[in-house]
Amino acid sequence: MAGKLGADPQQPENAATEPRVADNPQASRYELWLGTTRAGLIEYRSEPGVVLLVHTEVDPAFAGQGLGERLVAGALEDLRARGLKLVPLCPFVRAYLRRHPDQADLVAGDPAAPQ
């Protein structure tokens, strides 16, 4: 685990806040933020032209809200905008790609098989 997720998810400021995904290259992870609370992350490793998505984690206090999906979608959007490919080492990311075959072109190697 890359560090403790979140602050206090019961804070009213978090309830109506739109989730946002941000790349934190110093920590090698994408972060999902709700207001001032980090609710999730995807750890990655960068290699030339490709990003290996290693591990996805959402704070249990935010489970069942679809935030993991939002996190992966935001990371893929960023990778696409930067012209990078990905290797889905994380099972959650692989499952997302199976449900979203329109994103298969981002997968390095055989885009038809996110495994």
DSSP code per residue over 24-65: ETTTTEEEEEETTEEEEEEEEEEETTEEEEEEEEE-GGGTTS
* pLDDT, position 69: 97
5 pLDDT band, cuts 50/70/90, is low
Does the domain made of 18-106 have the CATH classification 3.40.630.30? yes
pLDDT digits (tens, 9 = 90+) for 90-112: 999 999 999 999 999 999 985 45
For residues 25 and 8, the model is more confident at 25
pLDDT at 113 over 60: no
pTM: 0.82
